Amino acid sequence: MRQPLSGQHHGRPAHPEVERPDRHPGDELRQRYDSLREVYLLRSSIPICAWCKSIRDDAGIWKRLETYLEEQADIMPTHGVCPSCMTQREADDAHAPASST
């Protein structure tokens, strides 16, 4: 039977606190930080419909953006029209047939 190398037991360092030569002092902290960052990013991601902009909540229910914001963040959205949409609307109106009223 082979004898373990000095300072090792069954191929592992005798003491977990002993720094292994292939690891740097900040590796474990960096790994924990990266894991927490990934969890934060996953939790902060919001599933939103690419077409109608509805948002799926944690229960899997699709809600209008305004409703979701009101329920989750206590935010009361106001409505307006951005310049790009206003230009598009005016162009659409200019090409729409006149109504016969």
Q: Which amino acid is at 20?
A: R
In terms of Cα–Cα distance, which of 62, 30, 40 is closest to 49?
62
pLDDT tens digit string along 43-98?
667 888 999 989 998 899 999 988 988 888 888 888 899 999 999 989 988 888 87
Burial pattern 63-95, b for ≥16 Cβ within 10 A else e, equals beeeebeeeeeeeeeeeeeeeeeeeeeeeeeee
pTM, to two decimals: 0.42
Residues in the chain: 101
Confidence of residue 24 (pLDDT cuts 50, 70, 90): confident
